[in-house]
Structure 1
């Protein structure tokens, strides 16, 4: 055995793997390959920033960004958008009266189009109607032909769908038809809206319970000669959203499944075979379940891709069921078209214009400074050890 160890040590010494103290050395197998990449010998270019290179670059960037921003602003101005805030409609009388000026806003592609202030009226719901506030009728002008396509959105403010607990408050297995019982739901993220008296809630969670449930009707012309302008909810959800849900939830006895508390006005305390919601076909539900990232957001409610909305005065009937006073928010109807830049939003265009102005301003300042106090490139006299008594 000693002879074998001695031979092994002699072999390691001959290979350079043992030092003078008898410690084993690291072999070449741990050394990086002798390549330019692994040995950090790649060629690099370190540009020297001089006024001759920096100033033209700033001017060129500004000259490129400015027309791009102007083009985006022009594309946004092609869109007509009308916003009607109906939060306080329940304070109106049954006869039509003008909306306060701060509750509506028109941004028209035709700057010279005439526009009369919108009017509203309110009819309270019958006594005993659960979850219903009444109906709000709004009359408004369409100053010029719109579309196609024409989109109707609802807009909410101060509603924090991005809250961590709110975003997690759903059960994906239940939405996929795996029918978890009340015990399984209680261990998930739906609490406290997982079950009612041991009966599972479908769909469970805060998101489903707080769905926007105001109803927005089609546009009816006030004056004769114009047909009702209809909207459809088909195609308002993102492609692929329907795959997250099923038509049959998988529960054997639908009468032993409860709707969310805020759905009782529509479905009652229990479901039945004829009134069970088809979440795979309900695009309003799918739109709501895709939570917004900011407290002020708009979500698509209806669309018309086939016909023009003619110029004229229309009225729309809104069933007011969604409360916003409890969280200090507002709710509005947004009627809009689109252009090649998408929806109406001039922020991106002005951001390009502002960036262009900043770069050009920096270039002008740098050019002025270079003309007033030019500096020779590589001036050794400016080194600290050549500054004399400084």
Structure 2
């Protein structure tokens, strides 16, 4: 059972002060608790022998005249300003004089920092040698990374102005796909011939790149409803609070809602290899569109709603809906609905206005001099 005591400090006058302090400290069971300004003398306290450890709390109150702190540190007690401080101590049955603070760390080698350690003595010679060693190590790592990077073959094709580049004649294609994308939702077809001059071992990775697209804008990044992407049935109020103005159309919830989903990159790509013997025939190259997003996104962040998408409206700038036969790619090979991996890749915002995102993989080896068509 813990008892509470009030200890009144002596301010240099009255009983218990003066020259009798040294004599009183020699008595059995007496302990002195030190403060920054005052020494408090505490006589032996009764200890119950029925338990091994008893926790007692002692409260000491100081008059405002004995403390120089601000008034905010005081409490109004009995009409006077007094400061209260609680001290928790533990007494042991085996030794009535043993008093220790409860927040004292254990007396172990780890807690008391007594483990054997080695601390180098920094001298100009040792520091110079260390810099030389680490500098050479960084040079070796840099050379290895440079050589590895030089082995990477990258072909960049800008099809923004499709017809101005190497066009395929005799085909009906738009001259300026970029202008049509701004104002119309009609599809725009672009066909280009390009030649790979060196053999490339698979796997090959197909990326699309955008420049000047600020996916890192704070309002753009916040325009998303994660609960909706997990397949939960969200209320219209919740959708509007997260996705407005791309939240609903005349009260019908948009799925998926938000500015990120509304601006999704929807271009599709096909690669065909020209057969050398007959230039009018092409061999289609399969592009694997699975496993292109983060595994954590696919496993933890996206689920299709149990009731499907029939009761939802498509995003404003989408030409197709999630439940159409063809969803952002041929035959829906990248997944259906929220589980479409092109959708998952796009929904992870890029940090910079110029970025590229993975669209697919090719697991075959190309041949020298063969042409591939990209559209």
TM-score normalized by the length of structure 2? 0.62
Which residue among 226, 230, 233 is the counterpart of 2:286?
A: 230
Q: 1:94 to 1:132 in 2, by over 3 A?
A: farther
Q: 1:54 to 1:135 in 2, by over 3 A?
A: same
2:325 and 2:168 map into 1 onto residues whose CA distance is 38
Does residue 139 in structure 1 map to residue 222 in structure 2? no
Does residue 171 in structure 1 map to residue 225 in structure 2? yes
- Secondary structure of 2:190's match? strand
Does residue 123 in structure 1 map to residue 170 in structure 2? no
2:350 and 2:254 map into 1 onto residues whose CA distance is 24
Q: 1:246 to 1:50 in 2, by over 3 A?
A: closer
Which residue among 13, 16, 21 is the counterpart of 2:31?
A: 16
- Secondary structure of 2:295's match? coil
> What is the deviation of 1:142?
0.3
**What's 1:245 paired with?**
302
Q: Which has the higher helix share?
A: 1
Which residue among 340, 352, 355 is the counterpart of 1:294?
A: 352
**What's 1:52 paired with?**
125
Q: Which moved more, 1:206-215 or 1:39-48?
A: 39-48
Q: Does structure 1 retain, via aligned residues, the 8 Å contact 2:166–2:193?
A: no
CA RMSD of aligned residues (A): 4.1
Task: Look at both structures and tell me which one has the larger radius of gyration over its CA atoms.
Answer: 2
1:171 and 1:196 map into 2 onto residues whose CA distance is 16
Which residue among 88, 100, 122 is the counterpart of 1:29?
A: 100
1:133 and 1:51 map into 2 onto residues whose CA distance is 69
Report which structure shows greater RCO (CA 8 Å, sep ≥6): 1
Residues 211-247 of structure 1 show CA distances to partners (whole Å, capped at 9, x for unaligned) of 1111111233274467332212122222233232224
**What's 2:268 paired with?**
215
What residue ranges of structure 2 are gaps of 5+ in the alignment?
7-26, 34-39, 44-58, 61-84, 90-98, 328-334
1:147 and 1:238 map into 2 onto residues whose CA distance is 24
**What's 1:312 paired with?**
369
2:323 and 2:138 map into 1 onto residues whose CA distance is 60
Residues 293-349 of structure 1 show CA distances to partners (whole Å, capped at 9, x for unaligned) of 2222211111122x201122424343xxxxxxxxxxxxxxxxxxxxxxxxxxxxxxx
Which residue among 180, 194, 201 is the counterpart of 2:234?
A: 180
Q: 1:15 to 1:89 in 2, by over 3 A?
A: same
1:134 and 1:222 map into 2 onto residues whose CA distance is 26
Q: 1:21 to 1:77 in 2, by over 3 A?
A: closer
Which residue among 243, 250, 261 is the counterpart of 1:197?
A: 250
Matches within 5 A, 1:66-85: 66-85=139-158
Q: Does structure 1 retain, via aligned residues, the 8 Å contact 2:195–2:369?
A: yes
Q: Does structure 1 retain, via aligned residues, the 8 Å contact 2:262–2:317?
A: yes
1:44 and 1:146 map into 2 onto residues whose CA distance is 53
1:203 and 1:246 map into 2 onto residues whose CA distance is 12
- Secondary structure of 2:238's match? helix
Matches within 5 A, 1:258-269: 258-263=313-318, 265-267=319-321
Q: 1:273 to 1:72 in 2, by over 3 A?
A: closer
2:193 and 2:166 map into 1 onto residues whose CA distance is 14
- Secondary structure of 2:189's match? strand
Q: 1:236 to 1:220 in 2, by over 3 A?
A: same
**What's 2:93 paired with?**
none
Q: Which has the higher strand share?
A: 2
- Secondary structure of 2:129's match? helix
> What is the deviation of 1:145?
1.2
How many pairs are equivalent?
281
Q: Does structure 2 retain, via aligned residues, the 8 Å contact 1:92–1:122?
A: no
- Secondary structure of 1:227's match? strand
> What is the deviation of 1:131?
1.1
1:16 and 1:195 map into 2 onto residues whose CA distance is 74
Q: 1:224 to 1:157 in 2, by over 3 A?
A: farther
Q: 1:274 to 1:236 in 2, by over 3 A?
A: closer
